[in-house]
């Protein structure tokens, strides 16, 4: 409370400067008056007035500098606020540009995918929901019966197969991806036409892999890096859609078949847009 009282009764610096200026003028008048006085009187005035005038001048300079400093600080604070606003605006712009760039990259991939499988009719859709977890093992898209979507239609994105439609509403559909634990697909090695089974495994997907098994490779020509596609004997999946690439291959204990791991052709951590193939497998 005492501090507030002192601040309330303190004299503003501009009034102090005014008082000092008035005193300075009075001293100057006295100094002029001493010109008509005697030499001893003039000398005494010199000892008193000149130091006082110097003090007044220094005080005035200090107050002037202090006022300029305060003005500079206020200008810098204002400039700092403006710069902060510009940084915030630029951050928003950069984020928007990055989002647009990512979406453009996705659209380019879908366009390339559409061109690659040009024999199939397709509908583009956006992902609007997913199950809990890091992976898009099952998810919802914004297209449904009103858009010609039906159960068992194949879904693609990135560089290949995503999964299959399992449930449909008027304006939505549910998709089960190939990495889901309940997913089993009849696949084929592109280079040898040997058949195999591709099985989803969410635990393995932590390392970026899913399983394959029941590969018959009597001539031992299948190697790492070979492309796996949907087979012609699949009852639901259209043929020759890329599933992924072999990363590890091992002989089974029966010495008749092989199994191993493969890397999916799709990024199942980041799915925003997909292509739904509206052509069903023959017999559907």
- pLDDT-based confidence at residue 26 (cuts at 50, 70, 90): confident
Size of the chain in residues: 284
Compute φ and ψ for 154, nearest 5 degrees.
-75, 145
Least trusted range by pLDDT, from 96-105, 200-209, 258-267 = 96-105
Question: In this prediction, what percent of the chain has a pLDDT beyond 70?
Answer: 70
pLDDT at 1: 47
Q: Which of 53-57, 118-122, 177-181, 279-283 has the highest mean pLDDT?
A: 177-181
Q: What is the pLDDT of residues 103-149, one digit of tens each?
A: 556 667 777 888 888 889 999 999 999 988 889 999 999 999 999 99
pLDDT at 169: 96
Evaluate if residue 95 carries a pLDDT over 60.
Answer: no
Taken in order of first residue, the domains within the chain and their CATH numbers are: 1-116 (no CATH), 122-277 (2.40.10.340)
Is 64 in contact with 20 (CB distance < 8 Å)?
no
Distance between CA atoms of 189 and 195, rounded to whole angstroms? 6
CA atoms 86, 92, 95, 99: torsion sign:
negative
pLDDT at 73: 82
pLDDT at 196: 97
Q: What is the pLDDT of residues 29-48, one digit of tens each?
A: 665 555 545 445 455 555 55
| 138-141 and 173-177 beta bridge pairing | antiparallel
Q: Which residue has the higher pLDDT, 71 or 272?
A: 272
How many Cβ atoms sit within 10 Å of the Cβ of residue 236? 17
Distance between CA atoms of 37 and 246, rounded to whole angstroms? 113
With a CB cutoff of 8 Å and minimum separation 6, the contacts of 13 are 63, 66, 67
Q: What is the pTM of this model?
A: 0.65
Q: In the predicted model, what is the mean pLDDT of the chain? A: 81
Q: What is the pLDDT of residues 163-204, one digit of tens each?
A: 999 999 999 999 999 999 999 999 999 999 999 999 999 999
* Of the candidates 105, 159, 167, the residue with the CA atom closest to the CA atom of residue 268: 159
CA 110 to chain centre: 21
pLDDT at 97: 46
């Amino acid at each position: 409370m005492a501090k507030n009282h002192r601040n309330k009764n303190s004299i503003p610096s501009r009034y102090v400067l005014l008082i000092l200026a008035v005193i300075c003028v009075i001293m100057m008048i006295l100094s002029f008056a001493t010109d008509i006085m005697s030499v001893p009187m003039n000398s005494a005035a010199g000892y008193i007035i000149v130091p006082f005038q110097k003090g007044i001048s220094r005080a005035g300079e200090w107050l002037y500098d202090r006022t300029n400093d305060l003005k500079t600080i206020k200008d810098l604070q204002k400039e700092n606020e403006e710069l902060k606003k510009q940084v915030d605006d630029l951050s928003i712009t950069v984020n928007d540009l990055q989002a647009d760039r990512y979406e453009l990259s996705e659209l380019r991939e879908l366009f390339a995918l559409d061109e690659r499988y040009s024999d199939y009719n397709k509908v583009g859709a956006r992902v609007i929901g997913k199950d809990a977890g890091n992976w898009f093992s099952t998810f919802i898209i914004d297209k449904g019966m009103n858009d010609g979507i039906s159960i068992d239609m194949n879904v693609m994105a990135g560089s290949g197969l995503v999964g299959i439609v399992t449930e449909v509403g008027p304006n939505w559909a549910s998709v089960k991806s190939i990495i889901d634990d309940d997913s089993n697909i009849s696949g084929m090695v592109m280079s040898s036409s040997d058949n195999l089974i591709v099985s989803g495994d969410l635990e393995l997907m932590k390392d970026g892999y899913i399983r394959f098994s029941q590969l018959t490779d009597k001539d031992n020509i299948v190697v790492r890096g070979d492309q796996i596609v949907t087979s012609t004997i699949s009852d639901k999946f259209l043929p020759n859609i890329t599933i992924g690439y072999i990363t590890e291959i091992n002989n089974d204990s029966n010495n008749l078949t092989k199994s191993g791991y493969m890397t999916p052709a799709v990024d199942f951590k980041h799915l925003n847009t997909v292509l739904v193939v509206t052509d069903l497998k023959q017999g559907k």
